[in-house]
Chain A
Amino acid sequence: MSSIRIKAKERKGEVDVKCLMKHDMETGLRKDKSGKKIPEHWIQDVTAESNGKVVFSCAFNTSISKDPYLAFAFSGKKGDSLTISWKDNTGATDSAETKIR
């Protein structure tokens, strides 16, 4: 199961995209019980592609909440594919694809 949940809905030629990514987004400032700092671990880059074209891309800092929520809108049509992928500071990546409804 992918860590990304996407909802993409078309209305009047505009696609509203909402997505939730499951990620700890550790800031590197938090401490565990023994007082040691928990190392930073966060999503740095998020890219959204529709039909092979980048429609939205953004970069996150650690100041984005845990399990990041992101919403944006672009012009597209029903049935097109939408792929959202992220990459975190450890180099881990994940992506999910959906059809625009």
Chain B
Amino acid sequence: MDRRSVLKVAGVVSAAATALVAMPRLAMAAYTEKAFKAKGGADALQNAYGANATTPSDQVKLKAPDIAENGAVVPVEVATDMDAESIAILIDGNPSPLALTADIPAGTKGLVKTRCRMGKTTNVTAVVKSGGKLYTASKEVKVTIGGCGG
């Protein structure tokens, strides 16, 4: 093998290695046992995003009812105008607080609407990951009838 082809092979190998290293960043939002079974909100964020330092921000818009009559169906909406990479919903008082993580690829709006279960009156926190930082907005939702079974 002459020098030229050796260099070529080396180039291909290093390109492949770079691609492999870059992979996790491109990975889609996927269920991870560690994050979703975590008992505390900070733990859940640590396991989901590798960081739990959050900054409250009014750019994160959280829509949830003041009083939810039925804890089994609480509509929650998270929207942001920031360049969001990921959105998460935390329900602090639930047995496992992390309810949802969503991956927002380029071209998709920073918006998620869903319906959550809430065991008791507690804070709902919307987390938006933008530029590697976590921004949050919280709101207390009063629950008359819990929705976690039991």
Contacts and interface: CB of A to CB of B under 8 A. Distances in A.
A59 B36 contact: yes
B109 A30 contact: no
B130 interface: no
Interface in A40-97: 44-45, 47, 54-66, 68-75
B101 interface: yes
B50 interface: no
B148 interface: yes
Contact of B113 (A57, A62, A70, A75): A70
B107 A74 contact: yes
A86 to B, nearest CB: 11
Contacts of A64: 99-100, 114-117
B114 A69 contact: yes
* Chain B CB within 10 Å, residue with most, of A29, A47, A62: A62
Nearest to A30: B149
Interface residues of A, number: 29
A54 B30 CA distance: 13
Interface in A1-48: 14, 27, 29-31, 44-45, 47
B81 to A, nearest CB: 13
Contact of A31 (B99, B104, B113, B149): B149
Contact of A72 (B36, B94, B109, B117): B109
A6 to B, nearest CB: 14
Interface of A: 14, 27, 29-31, 44-45, 47, 54-66, 68-75
Interface of B: 28-32, 36, 72-74, 91, 94-96, 98-105, 107-109, 111-118, 147-150
Shortest beta-carbon contacts, A-B, top 7: A30-B149, A58-B102, A44-B31, A71-B113, A74-B108, A57-B28, A73-B109
